[in-house]
Amino acid sequence: MDDLELSPSYELDLRDLPRLVGGVSDDFTLLDLVRIARAAEAAHPGLAAAFCMPHIDAFYEEATRDRTPSDDDCLTHLELYWSFDYDIEDIPEARRRNRRRPKGRKRETDVREAPGRGGVCSLMCFHGVGREPGDTYAIWLTPLNDLARLPVRVNALCAIHRPSLAAIRHPVRRAASRLGRIGAPLLRWWDRRAGKPIMTIEMRPTLHTFISSVFWELTFAGPHPSDREAQSKMLDEACEGAKLASRRGELIPMDDMLDEFDADDMLDQTAKP
Question: Under a CB-based contact definition with an 8 Å cutoff, are residues 82 and 130 in contact?
Answer: no
CB hemisphere CA count around 246 (13 angstroms): 6
Residue pair 239/75 in contact (Cβ under 8 Å)? The answer is no
Per-residue confidence (pLDDT) for residue 166, from 0 to 100: 47
The predicted-structure confidence for 10-69, as pLDDT tens digits, reads as follows 999 999 999 999 999 999 999 999 999 999 999 999 999 999 999 999 999 999 999 887
**Contact criterion met (CB below 8 Å) for 32 and 11:** no
> What pLDDT is attached to residue 117?
74
What is the reported pTM?
Answer: 0.75
So what's the pLDDT on residue 239?
82
pLDDT score recorded for residue 255: 60
Which has the closest alpha carbon to 245: 255, 233, 253? 253
Residue 29's CB is within 10 A of a number of other CB atoms, namely 19
State pLDDT tens for residues 211-221. 999 999 999 99
pLDDT tens for the chain, 273 residues: list them.
Answer: 689 999 999 999 999 999 999 999 999 999 999 999 999 999 999 999 999 999 999 999 999 999 887 645 789 999 999 988 877 777 777 777 777 777 777 777 776 667 667 778 889 999 999 988 888 899 999 999 999 999 999 999 988 877 655 445 556 656 666 666 666 776 666 666 666 777 888 999 999 999 999 999 999 999 999 999 999 899 888 888 877 777 777 666 666 655 665 555 544 444 444
Could you tell me how many helices (H) and strands (E) the chain has, helices first?
10, 10
What pLDDT is stored for residue 251 in this prediction? 64
Q: What is the pLDDT of residue 263?
A: 54
